[in-house]
Structure 1
């Protein structure tokens, strides 16, 4: 009988060890919450780092928004100025691009006819967006004339507002719609070569 009770005793201890051993997979709620909080914090830090790198890349590559290609004695220049939401004030980084654009046009296409085409993202009413796009186009036109030294009769301004078939990112507004909030400069006539 002693052997039977010792076997039962060892069996009980074995079951108890297995039962308690199975509990090692459980985590206290406070430890779980702390781990989740740390993961979320790390995720936010990584997102901030990604956002900072993205912004730095946009600034470094902004100089390439003005592309100058020389072909057979002619120069083609593509420049775009972007705007903040509901604003028509030129940003400093765009002024630099417009300065470069005006210099190229003065030196290589003094007789060119240029149209500043104003656009908005789709937020706001159609009438408001049409007015805002015109204000943006006029801001670029005025800058090219007053600061860039281009002749007033060679730079025009036109508003397209939120026209759908000209949105760079269809339907986007806010941070994602900045590409839609722009003035594109179009060379209607390059002048004589």
Structure 2
């Protein structure tokens, strides 16, 4: 038994010596600095691309009542589609913006991934509002796919219901709550989503 233990002990020491022997190389400070500078350059390039996309969308959608914001590699287009109380069908007045949005993505950013975020005003129960907001998001998603020509794998729908911290006009429903009954679009460009 002692010889088996001794062979195992020598085997472990041998592996340890081989492992340490492989660590003789090191990274030069100049190589490390160069790699870090390249990574920073890539981050700056990506930020410049996002800024350019945001500016392009701001110019294209200036005629619509939209707010466009950049956030960590994503572009959020707010106030895209609004809905009547208890309704989930896309209104005619919102279709031109959705058409333009789909066209910009199709022609210039075909790899972008879009999330249609559905919202509701607080007039219904939380469960009802969550379901209704999802129907709204799905209606916009389906419109972007079927009419706008975007790929089904490119557009997804989520529901936030009546979540209080995302209401445009807190607590409002009825005519004043139209801004709360909406679908916003979040667009991920590249590997950030």
TM-score range, shorter chain: 0.5 to 0.7
Deviations 1:6-55 (A, max 9, x none): xxxxxxxxxxxxxxxxxxxxxxxxxxxxxxxxxxxxxxxxxxxxxxxxxx
Larger radius of gyration: 1
What residue is the counterpart of 1:161 in the other structure?
A: 161
CA contact (8 A) 2:121 2:171 kept: yes
Cα offset, 1:77, TM superposition:
6.9
In structure 2, the CA distance between the partners of 1:77 and 1:160, relative to structure 1 (3 Å rule), is closer
Deviation, structure 1 residue 63: 3.3
Unaligned runs of 5+ in 1: 1-60, 70-75
State the partner residue of 1:191: 190
Counterparts of residues 165-176 of structure 1 (less than 5 Å): 165-176=165-176
Which TM-score applies when normalising by structure 1? 0.61
Question: In the alignment, what sits opposite 1:132?
Answer: 132
Q: Is the CA contact 1:120–1:132 (under 8 Å) kept in the aligned structure 2?
A: yes
Quote how far apart the aligned CAs of 1:191 are. 3.4
In structure 1, C-alpha distance between the alignment counterparts of 2:183 and 2:87, rounded to whole Å: 12
Counterpart in the other structure of 2:53: none
**1:61-76 matched pairs, under 5 angstroms:** 63-66=63-66
| Structure 2: gaps of 5 or more residues | 1-60, 70-74
**In the alignment, what sits opposite 1:86?**
86
Runs of 4+ deviating beyond 6 Å: none
CA separation in 1, counterparts of 2:106 and 2:65? 19
CA distance in 2, matches of 1:120, 1:135: 10
Structure-2 separation of matches of 1:77 and 1:130? 21
RMSD after superposition = 2.5
Contact 1:81 1:90 in 2 (8 A): yes
Rounded to whole Å, the distance in 1 between the matches of 2:133 and 2:168 is 15
